């Protein structure tokens, strides 16, 4: 009775698929670039950490914390590269965003490991160059 009519014929209404909470959560995460970058950083750090340390050999010493922190920084940088390289919204500013995030990521990794100023500057320079080239190198990882 509540079905819409079209020229005297009864049109069957297709049931709307119910989206699961998991699918809605993924849509919410990837709705904004910042959420994508953070999620990418966490997944990257977790995957590489499990690959390095294995599942059963975890100890919370300084070296482990340094490695996890640097993996989070590198993962966030890769997320920024992926998010800004392909989006049309970042056509003009994407190069600057990637370069600055590369400089910050390179310097951040050096600071996490307690590198001297010269090494931190060199890491920042390498990060800036990697950010400048963007997906040209990141697609090979």
Helix (H) or strand (E) holding 10, with range, is: strand 9-10
List the end-to-end C-alpha distance of the chain, in Å, as a whole number: 58
Q: Looking at residue 85, what is its pLDDT?
A: 74
Tokens of 29: 């995460």
Token reading at 81:
């590269």
Distances (CA, A) of 81 to 12, 49, 63, 85, 124: 47, 21, 27, 6, 16
Residue 91: the pLDDT is: 73
Question: What is the C-alpha separation between 28 and 19, in angstroms, rounded?
Answer: 13
Cα 24 from chain centroid?
A: 19
Residue 19 is predicted with a pLDDT of 64
Q: Measure the CA–CA gap between 123 and 117, rounded to whole angstroms.
A: 10
Q: What percent of the chain has pLDDT over 90?
A: 20
In the prediction, which pLDDT does 58 show?
A: 65
The pLDDT of residue 118: 94
Residue-wise DSSP of 110-124:
HHHTT--HHHHHHHH
Is residue 45 within 8 Å of residue 68, measured between CB atoms? yes
* Residue numbers of the chain with a pLDDT score lower than 50: none
- pLDDT recorded at residue 6: 55
Residue 9's pLDDT is 63
H-only helix segments in 1-141: 21-29, 33-53, 62-86, 94-112, 117-133, 135-138
Q: What pLDDT, on a 0 to 100 scale, did the predictor assign at position 137?
A: 79
Phi, psi (degrees; rounded to nearest 5) at 9: -100, 155
């Amino acid at each position: 009775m509540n079905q819409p009519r079209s020229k005297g014929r009864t049109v069957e209404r297709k049931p709307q698929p119910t989206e699961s909470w998991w699918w809605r959560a993924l849509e919410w995460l990837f709705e904004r670039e910042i959420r994508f970058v953070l999620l990418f950083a966490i997944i990257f750090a977790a995957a590489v950490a499990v690959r390095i340390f294995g599942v059963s050999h975890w100890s919370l010493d300084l070296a482990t914390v340094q490695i996890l922190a640097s993996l989070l920084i590198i993962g966030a940088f890769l997320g920024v590269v992926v998010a800004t390289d392909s989006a049309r919204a970042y056509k003009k500013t994407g190069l600057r965003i990637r370069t600055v995030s590369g400089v910050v990521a390179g310097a951040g990794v050096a600071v996490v490991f307690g590198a001297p100023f010269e090494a931190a500057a060199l890491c920042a320079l390498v990060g800036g160059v990697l950010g400048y080239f963007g997906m040209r190198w990141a697609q090979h990882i």
